[in-house]
Amino acid sequence: MITWIESQFLQSCVTFLFAFLNFITFNYFKVNESWTRTSLEVDQFPLLRLPLLAREHVLCMMTPFELIDLSMTSSKAKRAVIFFSRIKSRFSVSLCMIYSSFIFIKGHENEWAYVWKRRQSLAGRSPYHIAEFSTNPRTDCLRWYDAIKEVLGCRIDDCVSRPDKSLTDWLRSNQSSIEKITLMHGDQEDFKYFFKTIKFPKGINHLEVQDSKFINYEQLMRLKARNIVLRWSYLTSQEINRFLKSWMSMESHLDLECFQINFCINKALNEIMDLPNKVTADPNSMERMRRCFPKYTMENGFDIRRSDGKVATVCLGRNNWIVAVLFNSSAIGTD
């Protein structure tokens, strides 16, 4: 009972501190429209005067927006937030830079977003979304990430972009590798520079290339992501067949979980599926494929077995999408 009462009391204190923090941040320091802070004002800030354990408990319950706002009130507050974020990293970041520029901040249960728009009328703020007006959205997006990454103790886990040279250099300067990458349409030389510059760690989760005409068979064999998606590929049916055979013989892509590719060759499934010991996929495997890829029409498929017993179901979907999903199973048709 005492523990419950103490917990409720602490929760009430946290709620009060949040309300007081918002008041301080958006009203108190803006009285003279100068945002200047004296050392006395900082010392009187209530959160920074709490014992370390109580302060960490409050910071742990704050959203990334609240942590960033707090860090901007003073250098002392910023140091406190950075110290907390280093020992208790809670967030990851996704960047999306296509038409608008976004920073998505992901927590365990929720997601928050900054977005930069070229129209002033679209600017605004809500608990989970902040939209800023910008004449150069991408530059402002990258500058803001540089400003907040230390405060939140986060790294970029996911990036969707057109990979021009300046963006590639910026990504490399921030971190050596990224877990999930989606590359949109762009200049072929920019794509080549990206793949030459950015390291792909063993076990990268997802690599998707929207315009993969420049990726040849040798380059495909060097892509070591667990999930590979190649759109508008110029790979031939014979090369796709060689790729599947290399997986079956355990010569490459041992950690591959999913491979998707579309191509411009009609009636190519017979050449692709010229594989040893293939069998028609049973209804359970086909149903599983349809659940995983509901937007593709899949009439039939084949199960192929790797030399260690793992199984892939290979299907030809609508619009010449070839889809191979590799299951960690030792028998065909089992999970």
Confidence of residue 76 (pLDDT cuts 50, 70, 90): confident
Do residues 43 and 101 share a domain? Answer: no
- Indicate whether 30 belongs to any domain: yes
Of 40-44, 47-51, 289-293, give the lowest mean pLDDT range.
Answer: 40-44
Domain membership of residue 37 (yes or no) is yes
Burial of 85 (0-12, 13-18, 19+ CB in 10 A): buried
Residue 13 has pLDDT above 70, yes or no: no
- 81 & 118 share domain: no
Q: Are residues 83 and 97 located together in one domain of the fold?
A: no
Residue 93 is assigned to a structural domain of this protein: yes
Residues 12 and 58 in one domain: yes
Residue 308 lies in a domain: no
Burial of 171 (0-12, 13-18, 19+ CB in 10 A): buried
Q: Which of 87, 103, 134 is where one domain is finished?
A: 87
pLDDT reading at 32 higher than 60: no
End residue of a domain, out of 154, 177, 197: 154
Residue 147 forms part of a structural domain: yes
Which of 16-20, 39-43, 311-315 is predicted with the least confidence, judged by mean pLDDT? 39-43
For 226-245, what is each residue's pLDDT tens digit? 999 998 888 988 999 999 99
> Cα separation of 152 and 328, whole Å?
36
Q: Do 58 and 104 reside in the same domain of the chain?
A: no
Mean pLDDT of 70-88: 87
Residues 20 and 10 in one domain: yes
18 and 54 fall within a common domain: yes
Residues 98 and 43 in one domain: no
Residues 69 and 115 in one domain: no
Q: Are 111 and 105 in contact (CB under 8 A)?
A: yes
Whole-Å CA distances, 120 to 131, 133, 137: 9, 5, 12
Asked if 6 and 82 sit in the same domain, the reply is yes
Residue 249 has pLDDT above 60, yes or no: yes
Q: Residue 267: its pLDDT value, please? A: 55
Q: Is residue 126 part of a domain?
A: yes
Q: Domain count of the chain?
A: 2
Q: β-strand 258-263 against 227-233: which pairing, if any?
A: parallel
- Find the domain containing 82 and state its range: 2-87
Reading the block at residue 67, the tokens are 């942590």
With 60 as the cut, is the pLDDT of residue 100 above it? yes
Residue 320 placed within a domain: no
Give the SS3 label for residue 140.
Answer: helix
Banded pLDDT at 141 (limits 50, 70, 90): very high
| Domain end call among 87, 108, 143 | 87
Average pLDDT of 119-143?
Answer: 94
Residues 123 and 95 in one domain: yes
Same domain, 81 and 99: no
Residue 190 lies in a domain: no
